[in-house]
């Protein structure tokens, strides 16, 4: 994450168009046709400047929705005598008012979304509905529906909802191609900022392929100066033809409000996640590379005698992976894919992840100063062993950790560079012994008290009996760490 990431505020989004000036009665404007790809141009008269974006909004706005996510949060009412271990031992731990027991409050999140299919499929941000017990969607025409969460994809910060009820004739928006955009193109943002209601704002595309933003695993954002504020998350970034070309997801802000630097997930990535749902999937299946890539710094470029610091340097290749099968080697410099240049690992990762599964893709490589094309198979990471998820309990320092058997599929999901065998941590409960031990998601547990850990059942068995001293060995970030912990 770069030095700007601390100022990024993940927000819920929507936007309103610029107010058009009234045309002079003496020079009535003639309607200007909507722009189509390849026809971008600047206004040529005052009449054109006075034209309105109202037709674009009228076409798209009915498909933009408000998303309300609710979850119950348990909290204690304060201290009581029953918090004393002596009283709890003899009287148990009743809860409720007067006993200092936990109570529930409803936590609400507000965001935006886009209906992308008449059947009621809604695209929004994962952070809008993360942890929600109940999701409700309000349409622009005031109709409200409960919604099911069909798919969550934290790696892209996208989620797909399904409206419950209705007749399958919901207004829907067309997904465009984010690759058709150019810097300077006019765009509209539509959403529900601060809960004030559907709002439209207008701006331009400030930058494309913006990486190193630190929001999601796939760093390849559309940057816009269209006003985006809290509540806009999950809303639409729309081109002048009324097509959704991005899902607004975050802003750069020192104040929490819009400062003209907003980021949207490209529509081409949205399409990959949506297609997973349409094909009946419960998770997103993407091509697996099976190689670790490194950004080319100015020092590396100088050492490799490169004219400029661009490309992705191959650091490691997993045996048997698509990268290995395609002939990729450590030290290769990747400069492009499918005829498109990629300046860094984030750009390559996005381009590779948005390729359809099946077949092959051509990757441009420089090896020892020689340019070449390698053909890499587009295959999903295999789940070579069952996950066998376990939640550790008992009195060990690992209690509260969720672990699964490690496979290429799990390693890809966790973005870990650890071996593709063993037991890996996928979650750590807040305040648990594992949390206090500083166990991290992605840690690969190797050995506990001298017992080698190869499957989750091995770990459950190794932590079942109490011990006065725990010796735990794990792998993290390419390093092997061993800790001695009291029982």
* pLDDT (0 to 100) of residue 110: 85
Long-range contacts of 34-40 (CB under 8 A, 24+ apart): 34/240, 34/241, 34/242, 35/239, 35/240, 35/241, 36/241, 37/177, 37/180, 40/182, 40/185
461 Cα distance to chain centroid: 35
In this predicted structure, which of 5-19, 144-158, 190-204 has the lowest mean pLDDT? 5-19
Q: Flag whether 198 is in a domain.
A: no
pLDDT at 133 over 80: yes
Question: Where residue 348 falls among pLDDT bands split at 50, 70, 90?
Answer: very high
Please indicate, yes or no, whether residues 434 and 481 belong to a single structural domain of this protein: yes
* Gap between the Cα atoms of 109 and 10, Å rounded: 12
* pLDDT (0 to 100) of residue 5: 42
* pLDDT (0 to 100) of residue 54: 87
With residue 374 as reference, give the H or E element that holds it.
strand 370-377
Please indicate, yes or no, whether residues 364 and 417 belong to a single structural domain of this protein: no
Q: Flag whether 326 is in a domain.
A: yes
Mean pLDDT of 303-307: 84
DSSP helix/strand/coil, 85: helix
On whether 125 is known to bind a ligand per the annotation, the reply is no
Q: Flag whether 446 is in a domain.
A: yes
Question: Where residue 38 falls among pLDDT bands split at 50, 70, 90?
Answer: low
In this predicted structure, which of 94-108, 172-186, 206-220 has the lowest mean pLDDT? 94-108
On whether 66 is known to bind a ligand per the annotation, the reply is no
Q: Flag whether 452 is in a domain.
A: yes
Place of tokens 């929490």: 256
With residue 115 as reference, give the H or E element that holds it.
strand 102-117
Mean pLDDT of 382-402: 92
221-224 and 291-295 as β-strands: parallel, antiparallel, unpaired? unpaired
Please indicate, yes or no, whether residues 396 and 446 belong to a single structural domain of this protein: yes
* pLDDT (0 to 100) of residue 285: 87
pLDDT at 43 over 90: no
CB of 458 closer than 8 Å to CB of 423 = yes
* pLDDT (0 to 100) of residue 336: 93
* pLDDT (0 to 100) of residue 257: 61
CB of 369 closer than 8 Å to CB of 335 = no
Question: Where residue 376 falls among pLDDT bands split at 50, 70, 90?
Answer: very high
pLDDT at 95 over 60: no
Question: Where residue 172 falls among pLDDT bands split at 50, 70, 90?
Answer: very high
Question: Where residue 255 falls among pLDDT bands split at 50, 70, 90?
Answer: low
In CATH, what number is assigned to the domain containing residue 334? 2.30.42.10
Cβ neighbours around 375 below 10 Å, total: 12
To the query of whether residue 127 is one of the catalytic residues in this protein, the response is: yes
Q: Flag whether 256 is in a domain.
A: no
Please indicate, yes or no, whether residues 397 and 449 belong to a single structural domain of this protein: yes
Q: Which residues lie closer than 8 Å to 434 by C-beta, 6 or more apart?
A: 392, 397, 398, 399, 400, 401, 425, 428
Tell me which DSSP letter residue 24 carries.
Answer: P
* Gap between the Cα atoms of 234 and 132, Å rounded: 15
Reference 226, options 264, 178, 260; nearest CA is: 260
Last residue of a domain, which of 331, 349, 377? 377
Question: Where residue 159 falls among pLDDT bands split at 50, 70, 90?
Answer: very high
CB of 354 closer than 8 Å to CB of 268 = yes
Mean pLDDT of the chain: 81
Please indicate, yes or no, whether residues 464 and 411 belong to a single structural domain of this protein: yes
102-117 and 370-377 as β-strands: parallel, antiparallel, unpaired? unpaired
To the query of whether residue 407 is one of the catalytic residues in this protein, the response is: no
Q: What number of H helices and E strands is found in the chain? A: 11, 26
Catalytic residue among 157, 268, 332, 343: 157
- Number of compact structural domains in the chain: 2
Last residue of a domain, which of 321, 356, 377? 377
Please indicate, yes or no, whether residues 396 and 481 belong to a single structural domain of this protein: yes
On whether 179 is known to bind a ligand per the annotation, the reply is no
pLDDT at 63 over 80: yes
Range of the domain at 356: 291-377
Mean pLDDT of 425-430: 91
Last residue of a domain, which of 316, 351, 377? 377
* Gap between the Cα atoms of 188 and 203, Å rounded: 6
Please indicate, yes or no, whether residues 405 and 344 belong to a single structural domain of this protein: no
Please indicate, yes or no, whether residues 412 and 441 belong to a single structural domain of this protein: yes
On whether 443 is known to bind a ligand per the annotation, the reply is no
On whether 311 is known to bind a ligand per the annotation, the reply is no
Please indicate, yes or no, whether residues 397 and 357 belong to a single structural domain of this protein: no
Alpha carbon of 290 to those of 342, 352, 353: distances in Å? Answer: 18, 12, 12
Mean pLDDT of 463-483: 89
* pLDDT (0 to 100) of residue 258: 61
Mean pLDDT of 194-208: 87
pLDDT at 351 over 80: yes
Mean pLDDT of 246-258: 74
Please indicate, yes or no, whether residues 457 and 427 belong to a single structural domain of this protein: yes
Question: Where residue 7 falls among pLDDT bands split at 50, 70, 90?
Answer: very low
* Gap between the Cα atoms of 453 and 463, Å rounded: 11
Question: Where residue 81 falls among pLDDT bands split at 50, 70, 90?
Answer: very low
Percent of the chain whose predicted confidence (pLDDT) is above 70? 79
> Nearest 5°: CA angle at 220, between 219 and 225?
115
Q: Flag whether 363 is in a domain.
A: yes
Q: Flag whether 367 is in a domain.
A: yes
In this predicted structure, which of 19-23, 243-247, 473-477 has the lowest mean pLDDT? 19-23
Question: Where residue 32 falls among pLDDT bands split at 50, 70, 90?
Answer: very low
Please report how the helices 345-353 and 267-278 are oriented relative to each other, as an axis angle in degrees rounded to 10: 40
Rg of the chain, C-alpha, whole Å? 26
Mean pLDDT of 442-452: 92
Question: Where residue 62 falls among pLDDT bands split at 50, 70, 90?
Answer: very high
Identify any residues that bridge with 190 across adjacent strands, giving them in sequence order.
200, 236
Catalytic residue among 233, 312, 321, 432: 233
Catalytic residue among 127, 153, 178, 239: 127
Q: Flag whether 439 is in a domain.
A: yes
């Amino acid at each position: 994450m770069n030095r700007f990431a601390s100022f990024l505020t993940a927000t819920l989004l929507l936007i309103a168009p610029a107010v058009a000036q009234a045309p002079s009665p003496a020079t009535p404007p003639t309607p200007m046709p909507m722009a189509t790809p390849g026809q971008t141009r600047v206004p040529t008269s005052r009449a054109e400047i006075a034209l309105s974006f109202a037709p674009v909004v009228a076409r798209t706005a009915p498909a933009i929705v408000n998303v309300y996510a609710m979850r119950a949060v348990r909290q204690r009412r304060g201290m009581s005598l029953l918090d004393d271990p002596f009283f709890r031992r003899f009287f148990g731990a009743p809860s409720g008012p007067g006993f200092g027991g936990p109570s529930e409050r409803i936590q609400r999140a507000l965001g935006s979304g886009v209906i992308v299919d008449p059947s009621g499929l809604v695209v929004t941000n994962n952070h809008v509905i993360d942890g929600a017990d109940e999701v409700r969607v309000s349409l622009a025409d005031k109709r409200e529906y409960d919604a099911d969460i069909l798919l969550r994809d934290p790696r892209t910060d996208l989620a797909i909802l399904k409206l419950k009820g209705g007749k399958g004739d919901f207004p829907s928006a067309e997904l465009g191609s984010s690759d058709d955009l150019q810097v300077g193109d006019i765009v509209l943002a539509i959403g529900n900022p601060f809960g004030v209601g559907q709002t439209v704002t207008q701006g331009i595309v400030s930058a494309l392929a913006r990486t190193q933003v630190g929001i999601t695993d796939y760093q390849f954002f559309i940057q816009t100066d269209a006003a985006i504020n809290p509540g806009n998350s999950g809303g639409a970034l729309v081109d002048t033809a009324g097509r959704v070309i991005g899902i607004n997801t975050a802003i750069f802000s020192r104040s929490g409000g819009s400062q003209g630097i907003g980021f949207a997930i490209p529509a081409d990535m949205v399409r990959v996640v949506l297609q997973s749902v349409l094909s009946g999937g419960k998770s997103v299946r993407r091509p697996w590379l099976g190689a670790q890539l490194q950004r080319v710094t100015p020092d590396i470029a100088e050492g490799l005698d490169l004219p400029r610091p661009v490309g992705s340097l191959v650091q490691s290749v997993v045996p048997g992976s698509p990268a290995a099968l395609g002939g990729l080697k450590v030290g290769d410099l990747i400069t492009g894919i499918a005829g498109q240049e990629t300046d860094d690992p984030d750009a390559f990762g996005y381009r590779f992840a948005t390729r359809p599964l099946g077949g092959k893709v051509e990757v441009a490589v420089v090896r020892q100063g020689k340019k070449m094309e390698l053909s890499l198979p587009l295959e999903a990471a295999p789940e070579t062993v069952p996950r066998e998820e376990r939640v550790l309990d008992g009195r060990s320092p690992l209690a509260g950790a969720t672990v699964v058997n490690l496979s290429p599929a799990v390693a890809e999901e966790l973005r870990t560079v650890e071996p593709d065998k063993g037991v890996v941590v996928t979650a750590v409960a807040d305040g648990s012994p594992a949390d206090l031990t500083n166990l991290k998601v992605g840690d690969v547990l190797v050995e506990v008290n001298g017992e080698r850990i190869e499957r989750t059942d091995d770990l459950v068995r190794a932590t079942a009996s109490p011990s006065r001293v725990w010796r735990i060995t794990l792998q993290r970030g390419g390093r092997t760490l061993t800790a001695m912990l009291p029982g």
